[in-house]
Structure 1
């Protein structure tokens, strides 16, 4: 198989991964601007090797042989290492401290921290744990996790007062989480540490499930002065890391 053919196979995989209902040979050749004859030959080879399947509508979809390959790729990914370049770029763009965290046993665990030259005083550090309900990163998880897990968490957690700004009313927290999901980022307004303001966004895997969250944190007044700019860069870098995990946005954002 020539290099050109290999590139065409990769484009076919990418196209079908974004069109889960399947596509015909004609649609694939038109979308990729390839000759229908050569597209047909590639499709038949991939179908024979089980890299593609045919559904009930006689449309081609990704095949079962790709499943173990995709699983192996996911297991080999280290999210913090994979995301480090984007986290560093984010820190340089906004000149504030950047964090990444994952979920472990209903607690937030920090896996990365990149200080700016305007470092802040914070109790957060790589390996450290924090509650979900009072941190930007944690509320990002709550906003974007599946509903059953969120309901289970809110039914069992005790919302303790950590600062004067901590939300301790579950109905109020749920309303905030709905708003965060709609806007694509969460806010910690001095709810975990006095004076500290945090903006956080989700990182999704290829299945659209949240796998990590990234945040920008700094003194409230300084953060508010460039809030919109931070949100723009934060969402862009979170999306870039998600893309490395195989996530394809359904909304183009």
Structure 2
């Protein structure tokens, strides 16, 4: 295990863990639920929660705690300082305009992918996504691309921690099967997924590199499986995504703030 920096603040880590424990399935929790979700003692969880209440990031209603809109300050600060829309938005928009599919860029965050930008389709599809959306990496095309290019150390850590949850009958839940898929994806340079995160969804994704060959992010096209067959999606969208990935790579090389931020991810 990597030795922690002597300047590392465990108290801050615990506080951030408490904030991140709130999600779509647990938007409000009692103290005992927060403690269980974070593996913190009730006393530590209580101190963290009460601090966030004082700071305005959490509110207490009866016995339950929930986040306030103030937490959006953290995300908006990144978006404003990194100017991600101005750097990658036009390239994702071009893919969307040429295909009619939604187009997104994401990075790996723990066992999930985290959306940094999303250009939606005008058509109705079952998957709702936007900036800040998280999905389990193992069930998405962008996630599998990012997993395929992990360093050996990070791959070991991922497979030690990851719980490969089943979302459909086609979701890959075997770690051995996923490992083999990742080898194949890295050889091909792209990933396409059908009906793994939800039925009726098909997507294809490619990596975005920096000038030194490091993978920074992944971009994709996603649409309804009733609209286009998977092999046709790959045939027609993959060339467009590869061009967009190259254009984004070039744009990032001219925008060091965002480039360095993604490299630290």
Partner of 1:92: 97
Partner of 1:164: 169
Partner of residue 242 from structure 1, selected from 236, 241, 249: 249
Query: What is the alpha-carbon distance in structure 2 between the residues aligned to residue 198 and residue 148 of structure 1?
Result: 28
Partner of 1:208: 213
Query: What is the alpha-carbon distance in structure 2 between the residues aligned to residue 104 and residue 167 of structure 1?
Result: 19
Query: What is the alpha-carbon distance in structure 1 between the residues aligned to residue 119 and residue 144 of structure 2?
Result: 20
Q: Any conservation in 2 of the 1:97–1:120 contact (CA below 8 Å)?
A: no
Q: TM-score, normalised by structure 1?
A: 0.63
> Which ranges in structure 1 are unaligned for 5 or more consecutive residues?
1-75, 248-253
The structure whose Rg is larger is 1
Partner of 2:238: 231
Question: What is the number of equivalent residue pairs in this alignment?
Answer: 172
Query: What is the alpha-carbon distance in structure 2 between the residues aligned to residue 147 and residue 201 of structure 1?
Result: 20
Q: Any conservation in 1 of the 2:204–2:233 contact (CA below 8 Å)?
A: no
Alignment CA distance shift 1:134-1:122 (3 Å): same
Partner of 1:5: none
Partner of 1:115: 120
Give the deviation of 1:151 after TM superposition. 2.3
Partner of 2:20: none
Alignment CA distance shift 1:137-1:80 (3 Å): farther
Deviations 1:14-67 (A, max 9, x none): xxxxxxxxxxxxxxxxxxxxxxxxxxxxxxxxxxxxxxxxxxxxxxxxxxxxxx
| Secondary structure in 1 matching 2:183 | helix
Alignment CA distance shift 1:88-1:228 (3 Å): same
Query: What is the alpha-carbon distance in structure 1 between the residues aligned to residue 88 and residue 246 of structure 2?
Result: 10
Partner of 1:102: 107
Query: What is the alpha-carbon distance in structure 2 between the residues aligned to residue 204 and residue 177 of structure 1?
Result: 17
- Across the aligned residues of Structure 1 and Structure 2, the Cα RMSD in angstroms comes to 1.9
Give the deviation of 1:80 after TM superposition. 4.2
Q: TM-score, normalised by structure 2?
A: 0.60
Query: What is the alpha-carbon distance in structure 1 between the residues aligned to residue 105 and residue 99 of structure 2?
Result: 16
Give the deviation of 1:107 after TM superposition. 2.2
Alignment CA distance shift 1:188-1:180 (3 Å): same
Partner of 1:195: 200
Partner of residue 181 from structure 2, selected from 168, 176, 191: 176
Q: Any conservation in 2 of the 1:162–1:191 contact (CA below 8 Å)?
A: yes
Give the deviation of 1:79 after TM superposition. 4.0
Give the deviation of 1:115 after TM superposition. 1.8
